Amino acid sequence: MKGEGEASGVPEAAGIPEAAGIPEAAGKPEAAGKPEASGIPEAGGRAKPKIQLELSLNQATVQNLSLDDAVALCVRHEITGIGLWRHRVAEAGLARSAAAVRAAGLHVSSLCRGGFFTHADPDARAAALADNREAIATAAELGADVLILVSGGLVPGSRDIGLARRLIADAIGDLVPDAERAGVRLGIEALHPMFCSDRCVISTLGEAIDLALEFPADVVGVVVDTYHVWWDVRLPTEIARAAERIFSFQLADWILPLPADVLLGRGHVGDGVIDFPAIAGAVASAGYTGHIEVEIFNERIWDDPADSTAATVKDRFRRVLG
């Protein structure tokens, strides 16, 4: 029987040629010549702002490497930035980790991560705050550009999404003085709506911005992760609105089919359907000049040799955004 799974129009998940562009015959005459209603500058257009092409490798992309090995990998591939994860930092020791990235001359573009604020139990909420304060101290010691916050899903046992959102706002408010004192910026990350129930009720960049705007501009901002927000018709508008609140810009591609564990379905830049030049152009136009992180959760990529992964990351970054 014909079900929803058999619709026409499913594009190939990967391998869209770089120059695929707009099929000539696709629009009506009056539509084909029109500029994008979205306001995203066209890749290669005259008004395209210069994108700072400073690549950072988020160490989740090479999940199996220790901090020292990830640092050495970046040096070997002349990648100037690294995004760090707390469990890897803890494993290596905080002081040693800070010394290692400094000695390697690497810029720490982010620390992953804080958040997970949505607990019904006051003790659990207090524990989350304590954990986030520790993360702030770690980010300060590492000189990270931003501590990334994955805010948390629905409160267990509750369907009240508004409650979860209030708990997140309250928790960030509690952390702002700590972050300010430590000189650490907090980046609220919008996660794809398919993670709304269990990981993060902040599902759009617009929602993340609205939340960030409740706090000082030099302390609380947002993370733009292409994987999570590419689908949003409001994305260009929201990126422009975010302006100096964009504290981190992360890349991963949307590929099909989604794997059994949707956390691990991200693809190398260029293997999927995301229009990276358009989004990167909007982010640059908004004034973002920081490192651009590639952060890919994908078990098959984790099984690849790390040097091969780093080479692909660098090559795609240059080919797709250069």
Nearer to a second copy, 22 or 78 (CB): 22
DSSP 225: E
**8 A C-beta contact, residue 103 and residue 116:** no
In whole angstroms, how close is the CB of 9 to a second copy at the nearest point?
5
In whole angstroms, how close is the CB of 163 to a second copy at the nearest point?
6
Which among 151, 290, 157, 251 is positioned nearest to 207, based on CA atoms? 151
Alpha carbons 243 and 286: distance in angstroms, whole number: 5
Nearer to a second copy, 3 or 305 (CB): 3
Nearer to a second copy, 44 or 162 (CB): 162
What do you get for the CA distance between the two ends of the chain, in Å?
47
Alpha carbons 80 and 105: distance in angstroms, whole number: 8
Nearer to a second copy, 107 or 206 (CB): 206
Nearer to a second copy, 107 or 191 (CB): 191
In whole angstroms, how close is the CB of 1 to a second copy at the nearest point?
6
Kind and range of the H or E run holding 94: helix 94-103
Nearer to a second copy, 221 or 272 (CB): 272
* Cα three-residue angle 194-196-199, rounded to 5 degrees: 105
In whole angstroms, how close is the CB of 242 to a second copy at the nearest point?
16
In whole angstroms, how close is the CB of 79 to a second copy at the nearest point?
21
Alpha carbons 321 and 180: distance in angstroms, whole number: 34
* Cα three-residue angle 97-99-105, rounded to 5 degrees: 105
In whole angstroms, how close is the CB of 21 to a second copy at the nearest point?
7
- Among all chains, which residue has been given the structure tokens 């524990």? 127
